[in-house]
Structure 1
């Protein structure tokens, strides 16, 4: 069975037109000059998708919406933070596929300004037709969503619960597929990427990519992630568990351990969604050199880690690096105060 055929038995609704492009960041390399230590920097443009403003969560939603439809659900309830990219794209995916959407948004970040609570992703959530429930601080999002699902059931409908980040084993399949996609594109380019750089939030993207690497016979430790949600060790253990569950879902006997995955906690700062000076600088340098947008919660911190680890030698001089641009640019508008202050 070929690698893509492994996924054919899972229900799927296509939300992405085709492989997202890989491009070299030439202008950034020029701007960095000797500071890049001969490292070649490429970007996998998972921000470059047509639906809902684009972003990596669409890969997960192809399988999650497929699962929801296969189970006869007419409503998706998605859980996230106030500025959740997953919630925004769940709303867009539901609009595209004719499902009702309800978003349960928890106060995961200590930012209570009106621009944070009502702009960026929240604005788009409503434009895509979702019913938005913004919870008070301390309110239990999982309980609220479960109670809401019961109400929907009582009304004669059926709800599908999409948990934080869509990082269920089924959702992770979207990044197993991405790992296969990167392998094909690498062959076409005649280029093997020594490092693949990503953010790690709820861990589903990392787990899917790692599982895909294992299936493809490649070393999953070439994926270097920067945690943006949990402490380094907690993120590592959770991602190892998710990766092994995905491998089991694919009926594969291989398993990974903590030594097989690379996760750095250097960019977490004060926690999830908390701006850091290095993030602000990374967002600015990519914008000014390439005209590309990194989000402030995920990609901005991961790219800051990439730049730091090139300069300190953690990423070896002369290597080929692929940075996965996960999208999330609407979140920039919710962080205008932090970005304008620099």
Structure 2
């Protein structure tokens, strides 16, 4: 599968609503890199353009392509209160003439009124989304069942709903966006003289799994390290392995091109759990802003940078060339402003 034409042919079987601002640039981060003793670069997927951008644009291009295939007029999606995924789905739905129903999970404990009303939630409301609530943040199966019941009621009312599922047992269409991203980034990596490692957030695992599978299908062996933002390293490793197998099966390619030792994750920056601010995350966000003028978020990229900094301070990255994959999420900063 190392031939680029074959690689792209596998992707082209799937419908795609190609409205993201792609390709996104790769830029140097010389100031922070010098402080950390490495050559640091950033892949700017915060610049994908729709609804404040982020990695979810690449994923949603495939979900919305499938929604267009069935002539859907309303999208349904589940996420945490400050979810980037649901905000981006609502924005892309508006662009394509689809209304959006959002089911917000109680995934982060003891959140403030600010968290519930600002940041991504404010944007959800500005985009005209209908908001629903689900009481359990660790019940993907139950959340998917609940949102399908909402879809059934909309269908009974004469609408044409399309559900974007949450659970790991669902078809991983979103991972295809990062299989494609691997094709995009390889010439960019070559243009900067190569990198020794890519560091990316690992949550739902669609970004991590899609990128790793895409690189290996293209014959590239660059290590991809996932920084856990929701589960511990043991559970997340299993999830990434499963999502790689699911994505390979969806594409009809050999998932064994990704060896078990290729799946690398660290939970050193996870803290007490998903969406919960830590001192290391706050420090990483402030340090990145003050050295590079680049904003990170408390849920994903701030934890990824905190993990990268820990690795650098432990000399695990000393002198290496590292690509930090910026997955966006900056609107969530405003939902956490009382913690800075």
TM > 0.5: yes
The separation in 1 between residues aligned to 2:283 and 2:202, in whole angstroms, is: 20
Asked if 1:51 corresponds to 2:50, the answer is yes
- Residue 244 of structure 2 contacts residue 255 of structure 2 at CA under 8 Å; is this kept in 1? no
Q: CA deviation at 1:51?
A: 1.1
Residue 80 of structure 1 corresponds to: 79
The separation in 1 between residues aligned to 2:316 and 2:191, in whole angstroms, is: 28
Residue 188 of structure 2 corresponds to: 185
Could you say what secondary structure the match of 2:47 adopts? coil
Residue 215 of structure 2 corresponds to: 213
Alignment of 1:96-245 (within 5 A): 96-136=95-135, 140-164=142-166, 168-189=171-192, 191-219=193-221, 222-245=223-246
Closer/same/farther in 2, CA of residues 111 and 334 from structure 1, 3 Å limit: farther
Could you say what secondary structure the match of 1:219 adopts? coil
Q: CA deviation at 1:163?
A: 2.1
Alignment of 1:312-327 (within 5 A): 312-315=314-317, 317-327=318-328
Can you list the C-alpha shifts for 1:7-60, whole angstroms capped at 9, x where unaligned? 111100012122000000122234x1xxx23x1000000001221011000000
Q: More deviation in 147-156 or 180-189? A: 180-189
Could you say what secondary structure the match of 1:184 adopts? helix
Q: CA deviation at 1:136?
A: 4.0
Could you say what secondary structure the match of 1:4 adopts? helix
Gaps of 5+ in 1: none
The separation in 2 between residues aligned to 1:249 and 1:169, in whole angstroms, is: 8
Gaps of 5+ in 2: none
The separation in 2 between residues aligned to 1:108 and 1:193, in whole angstroms, is: 35
Q: CA deviation at 1:171?
A: 0.9
Q: CA deviation at 1:135?
A: 3.5
The count of corresponding residues between Structure 1 and Structure 2 is 331
Q: More deviation in 276-285 or 11-20? A: 11-20
TM-score using structure 2 length: 0.93
Residue 250 of structure 1 corresponds to: 251
Q: CA deviation at 1:137?
A: 5.4
Can you list the C-alpha shifts for 1:126-182, whole angstroms capped at 9, x where unaligned? 111211113345795323201101101111222111123998421100000111111
TM-score using structure 1 length: 0.92
- Residue 180 of structure 1 contacts residue 212 of structure 1 at CA under 8 Å; is this kept in 2? yes
Q: CA deviation at 1:337?
A: 1.6
Could you say what secondary structure the match of 1:202 adopts? coil
Alignment of 1:24-39 (within 5 A): 24-30=28-34, 32=35, 36-37=36-37, 39=38
The separation in 2 between residues aligned to 1:272 and 1:175, in whole angstroms, is: 22
The separation in 1 between residues aligned to 2:188 and 2:135, in whole angstroms, is: 45
RMSD: 1.8
Residue 19 of structure 1 corresponds to: 23
Could you say what secondary structure the match of 1:164 adopts? coil
The separation in 1 between residues aligned to 2:334 and 2:255, in whole angstroms, is: 43
Could you say what secondary structure the match of 2:268 adopts? coil
The separation in 2 between residues aligned to 1:160 and 1:283, in whole angstroms, is: 36
The separation in 1 between residues aligned to 2:171 and 2:298, in whole angstroms, is: 24
